[in-house]
Amino acid sequence: MRFTDNVVVITGVGREEQVGDAVAHAFAAEGASLALLDLNAEALNARASALRAANARVSAYPCDLTDVGQVTTAAERIRTEFGQIDAFVHVAGGFALSGPIGASDPAVFAKQIAINLTTAYIASRAFVPLLKDNTGSAVYFASAAVMPGGATNGISAYAAAKSGVLGLMRSIADEGKSRGVRANAIAPTSIRTGDNLKAMGDQTKYVERHAVADVVLYLSSPAARSITGQVILLA
């Protein structure tokens, strides 16, 4: 198994049938020990229990990923329990329409920045320093919408936030070169999640959750040791 004896930190693993859940199960199936973070303690503990039932080693750390103090405390607990980590995967985030820029609500913009970009920054600040030199990997979630030719009409807040995540990833990739620590991102179109099925129905062309998880695991594995600062489009 590719990740036996590896420790993987994953944010945004609070709900069933979402991306974080699929990524966590994929890592567990490959032998990884997991440290999971999410805002919703009840949902997070439910996901952790399901993984433990499949014989995975899992620890859950409920926290607000926009709160520096809470994330720093969680990172210290993880460092105490596991030591250094092998991979950090930032799945946490969310989508919202903001409408035409002139009619958009600044509160929607602020929330999109908070849940997508601020969480990525605060979590990276806490966990990237824990990544092992020469082998550590960080993976971020952007969006196909912010890739060249992507459609961003009516989603300026989301587009700004996910563009910021790409800038953050590239900075971390540059900083990580001296340590041999890698950072990459994936940019999917709509993923087949429970939330998206409820919002858009089952006739939409989706990227499957297992396909997303496969790419995350590849980018976190030794097979991708020469890949850093890159964005993988999934459509």
Question: From CA 150, how far away is CA 12, in angstroms rounded?
Answer: 25
Question: From CA 111, how far away is CA 98, in angstroms rounded?
Answer: 11
How does the average pLDDT of the chain come out, rounded?
96
Residue 233 has pLDDT above 90, yes or no: yes
Residues 181-196 have pLDDT tens digits of 999 999 999 999 988 9
Residue 41 domain flag? yes
Domain count within the chain: 1
The whole-number average pLDDT for the span 29-35 is 98
Please tell me the predicted confidence (pLDDT) of residue 218: 98
Residues 136-147 have pLDDT tens digits of 999 999 999 999
Question: From CA 5, how far away is CA 23, in angstroms rounded?
Answer: 17
Residue 118 domain flag? yes
The whole-number average pLDDT for the span 58-86 is 98
Residue 33 domain flag? yes
Residue 112 domain flag? yes
Please tell me the predicted confidence (pLDDT) of residue 31: 97
The whole-number average pLDDT for the span 7-33 is 95
14 pLDDT band, cuts 50/70/90, is confident
16 pLDDT band, cuts 50/70/90, is confident
What CATH number did the domain enclosing 166 receive?
3.40.50.720
Residue 76 has pLDDT above 90, yes or no: yes
The whole-number average pLDDT for the span 74-82 is 98
Residue 218 domain flag? yes
- Give me the domain span that covers residue 63: 7-234
Residue 101 domain flag? yes
Please tell me the predicted confidence (pLDDT) of residue 195: 85
Please tell me the predicted confidence (pLDDT) of residue 15: 85
Residue 2 domain flag? no
Residue 125 domain flag? yes
The mean-pLDDT minimum among 12-21, 38-47, 68-77 falls in 12-21
Do the Cβ atoms of 37 and 159 come closer than 8 Å?
no
Please tell me the predicted confidence (pLDDT) of residue 203: 82
Residue 72 has pLDDT above 90, yes or no: yes
Q: Please indicate whether residue 183 or residue 15 has the higher confidence score (pLDDT).
A: 183
Question: From CA 221, how far away is CA 215, in angstroms rounded?
Answer: 10
The mean-pLDDT minimum among 72-86, 124-138, 195-209 falls in 195-209
Q: Environment class of residue 146 by beta-carbon count within 10 Å: exposed (0-12), middle (13-18) or buried (19+)?
A: buried
Residue 116 has pLDDT above 90, yes or no: yes
Please tell me the predicted confidence (pLDDT) of residue 194: 83
The whole-number average pLDDT for the span 212-235 is 97
Please tell me the predicted confidence (pLDDT) of residue 199: 85
- Output the pTM of the full model: 0.96
